[in-house]
Structure 1
Amino acid sequence: MTWHGERLVGFDLETTGTDIESDRIVTAALVTVEPDGRSRSERTWLLDPGVLIPAQAAEIHGISTEHARAHGAPPAPAIDEITSAVAEVLRSGTPLVVMNARYDLSLLDRECRRHGVEPLAGRLRGKPSPIIDPLVLDKHVDRYRKGRRNLQALCEHYGVTFENAHNAVADAVAAARTARSMGVRHARIGAAAPADLHDLQVRAAAEQSASLQSYLRRTSNPEATVEAAWPVVPYSR
């Protein structure tokens, strides 16, 4: 049985911004998606990040500072729960689907360190795997396709219905369904074992970063640097 014919688990964070080193988690979702596309076994978290949620971020995901303070959980125990839940999925061998995993999993790592919680790598005694990242895979199998490659664009391209964007549950489910559709459409990734597919993405992400870095250095910034690590950017003290 191929990985895309089995159960997948989607994971998504909504946050205060886009900087993995300084931004915070506001909501998180971990959702099991069955082979027929139905979602079940949904786990969600709403956190009080302990900082102001910028208006721009609140406009995207709908969570204001006031709402998070009134209804959100303290960050440290919530982040511990989130990380434990993600580790449990990966220990089971079930592929974890994360759109732009380099962002979500790196930010989760930094939140763990910020709040004195054991990071995912420590719990797993190694790097998180197997991860499936629709963004990395789409760039790998269809490198020269023009247009946007955000989650909504990928859903449209792969025929996945996507409603309520930037809701963590909806995004997690959409990512898992998109990954499954990609596996069906592209036999060269669909036939790979999850561990082999993970390793392929490590290499593909590094190649994509090198290509972008080269382009930026040629066209706009001779000193541009693009992070190559995937799915977690190494922590630097």
Structure 2
Amino acid sequence: MSWWTDEWLAVDLETTGLDPKADRIVSAATAWCERGVPFETRTWLADAGRQEIPVEATKIHGITTRHAHRYGRPTGLVAHAVAGLMSVAADDRAPVVVANAPFDLTMLACELHRTSYRAPEVMRVLDPLLLDWRLDPFREGRRRLEDLCRHYEVEHGGPHRADADAAAAAAVAYRIVGHFPQLQAMTLAEVHEAQVKWAAERAAARQAHKRRTDPAAVVDGHWPLIPRQGVTA
């Protein structure tokens, strides 16, 4: 069997906002998958203690501060549990599938930093949003995860539910690998390193475009996560 037909681990987070340095995890899910189909899913509701969940975030994922306080586990423990399964995947040389990896993995790394626990450093990531952008660059239309689900004919259990998004990301990634033989011919390590390069190229192109109107615009090209800076408690 090859890496793309072996088991994968998909990960997804829902959060209080879009700033990994200051915002917090609200819910998380992992899904062990085979050929893009989940066979073991775990979910967590997280409570960040003093941090409120903004109304705007609740409108997206449906989780209120009161609900998180009442039923959630401490955010650090949730991050630790997710990272533990990612370590298992790394040890097994299994891909970790994360849609928009720089956001979710940076958010997770910041949460782990608050608890002095480190994420696995040697892991191979598949980011279906990045793969789709690189391998089908001229397709028109939006490219959110739900858009990719429609394009690759993947059923989505509901956007912004961590378990449904994790399952959808794995299914889309599997369809992409199956659709593009050049990925199948590469090792998992080669696919990972290619994505590092593609993300940098994409960021450079976006930065050049933005600087037409804003000469100081900066687009970070780090992938699969952005180095921590100024993480708040």
- TM-score of the pair, normalised by structure 1: 0.92
CA distance in 2, matches of 1:108, 1:228: 18
Task: Report what 1:80 is aligned to.
Answer: 80
Task: Report what 1:140 is aligned to.
Answer: 134
What is the DSSP-based 3-state SS (H/G/I as helix, E as strand, rest coil) of the residue aligned with 1:198? helix
Q: Greater share of strand residues, 1 or 2?
A: 2
CA distance in 1, matches of 2:122, 2:167: 20
Amino acid at match of 1:91: D
Structure 1 pair 177–23 and aligned structure 2 pair: CA distance change class (3 A): same
Aligned residues: 229
Verify: 1:206 aligned to 2:200, yes or no: yes
CA positional deviation for 1:129? 2.0
The within-5 A match list for 1:1-237 is: 1-35=1-35, 37-50=36-49, 51-114=51-114, 116-120=115-119, 124=120, 127-218=121-212, 220-237=213-230
CA distance in 2, matches of 1:173, 1:90: 19
Q: Deviations over 1:167-196 (max 9, x none)?
A: 101000000000000011111123221111
Superposition RMSD on alpha carbons, in Å? 1.3
CA positional deviation for 1:236? 2.7
- TM-score of the pair, normalised by structure 2: 0.94
Structure 2: gaps of 5 or more residues:
none
- Tell whether the 8 Å contact from 1:4 to 1:179 is kept in structure 2 after alignment: no
CA distance in 1, matches of 2:142, 2:91: 33
- Percent identity, aligned pairs only, is 38
CA positional deviation for 1:163? 2.2
- Tell whether the 8 Å contact from 1:14 to 1:25 is kept in structure 2 after alignment: yes
CA distance in 2, matches of 1:191, 1:215: 33
Amino acid at match of 1:78: V
Structure 1: gaps of 5 or more residues:
none
- Tell whether the 8 Å contact from 1:202 to 1:230 is kept in structure 2 after alignment: yes
CA positional deviation for 1:98? 0.2
CA distance in 2, matches of 1:133, 1:214: 23
What is the DSSP-based 3-state SS (H/G/I as helix, E as strand, rest coil) of the residue aligned with 1:109? helix
Amino acid at match of 1:45: W
